[in-house]
Amino acid sequence: MHQQRTIAEKVSCTGVGLHTGVPVQLTMHPMRANSGVVFVRRHSGRGMETVARSSAVTSTSHATTLGTGLASVSTVEHLLAALYAFGVDNVRIEIDGPEVPAMDGSAAPFVYLIRSAGIFVQPEPSAVMRLRSTIEVSDGERHIRIEPASQFRISYAIDFEHPAIGRQELALPKVSPQIFEREIARSRTFGFLAEVQALRQAGLALGGSLKNSIVLDSKRVINSGGLRWRDEFVRHKVLDLLGDLSLLGLRLKGHVVVERGGHALHQRLVKEILARPEAWTIQGPVAGWQRGLDVEPPAASPA
């Protein structure tokens, strides 16, 4: 049984938001068991909480946003992916701006923060969702499903009509801190030079640069350092998936298979999972997991 974890001490970072371009300071604090991951948006001396759950998702346009108004926090997926991969179940994330800092466009800086803070293992078990039957959602050529498996696995495929990307596939037979740090964490967000003007007119990518994104023109990657892996693009999609799935608020045992996914499709799967309680069982503290949910899960199964 997986035991709950929090960070051992407070840790902070500063940066600018990828889409807002706003400078921000982010501080993570340890939290007691069964608290979950909670964002606290600081504004004019006030702190407004948003629990990191699917019910709090208000936008999946180019990033995942939680909460509304002055309580909203966007581009949460890279930080959430790192916390999930390292098994951090309980943490308070205070932020004084509208967006998690982009850092270098990957989750590697957040891995560094978590390792700097240290991990404190708590005595309470964490909730684990085990799939009993397959759940799938589709949108044209885009598909995502989760099927029963003895552990958490991911198979992801993307297909872009761009000579520097094309079709890429990645299979992770398991997700551990070591595998995440070695294979996924350093993969960066990416975008196309032809779309930059339209994005900025829409109020997006205002903080984007070659320092925190892979940028492609019509033929190639224009970053002077090139790619960190040839298939860095699909690796980053896996990173986004982990952050989005973490909004279930528990550990997963199942095989997630994705064809041409993205934030919106990821969240459709999360909502479909929650709408199909007959397709899964929960091991561990159901009461703690229910915080922030709009659904009534079935009775917990024995460990």
CA pair distance 210, 231, nearest whole angstrom: 18
**Strands in 55-208 per DSSP E:** 57-59, 65-66, 91-95, 119-125, 128-131, 135-139, 142-147, 153-160, 166-172, 190-192
- Amino acid at the residue 276: R
Residue at token pair 């909670």? 38
Residue at token pair 């501080």? 27
> Which uninterrupted H or E stretch holds 51?
strand 46-51
CA pair distance 223, 180, nearest whole angstrom: 24
CA pair distance 85, 88, nearest whole angstrom: 8
In contact, 142 and 237? CB cutoff 8 Å: no
Which region holds residue 227: left if phi is over 0, alpha if psi is between -120 and 50, else beta?
Answer: beta
CA pair distance 51, 122, nearest whole angstrom: 20
Q: Which residues are catalytic?
A: 263
Instruction: Return the closest-CA partner of residue 282 out of 254, 255, 241, 256.
Output: 254
Tell me the CB-side half-sphere exposure of residue 131, using CA atoms within 13 A. Answer: 21
Q: Look up residue 216 and give its two tokens.
A: 């492609």
